[in-house]
Structure 1
Amino acid sequence: MACSRVPGMFNLRNLSSFPSIILPANYISVAKFSSLTTFKSYKNNINAKSCDILKPNVFDVSLEMNRKASNSTMNQAEVDKFAKMAGDWWNPDGVCKPLHSMNKVRVPFVRDRLVPGNNSAQPLKGLNILDVGCGGGILSEPLARLGANVTGVDACKENIEIAKFHSSKDILTKDTNFICSTIEEYAETSGIKFDAVVASEIIEHVDNPQLFITSMSSLLKDGGDLFITTLNRTTRSWLLAIVGAEYVAGMLPKGTHNWEKFLKPEEIEEMCEKAGLGTRMVSGMTYIPVVNKWMWIPDKSVNFALHASKYIN
Structure 2
Amino acid sequence: MTVTNTAPTVALREARIPGDGIYEGRRVLHRVPEGWEERPYELFEVEPQARTIGAEIRGVDLSRPLGPGLRAELHRALLEWKVLFFRAQHLAPDRQRAFARHWGELETNPLLAAGSSEDVVRFDKGSGSTPTFENVWHADVTFRERPALGAVLQLREVPPAGGDTLWADMAAAYDNLPQDVKDRVDGARAVHDFIPGFARFYGPERLAPHQERFPPVEHPVVRTHPDTGRRMLFVNASFTTRITGMPREESDRLLRYLFQQAHIPEYQVRFRWQPGDVAFWDNRATQHYAVNDYGAHRRVAERVAIAGDRPF
Higher helix share: 1
TM-score, normalising length from structure 2? 0.28
Bigger relative contact order, structure 1 or 2 (CA pairs below 8 A, ≥6 apart)? 2
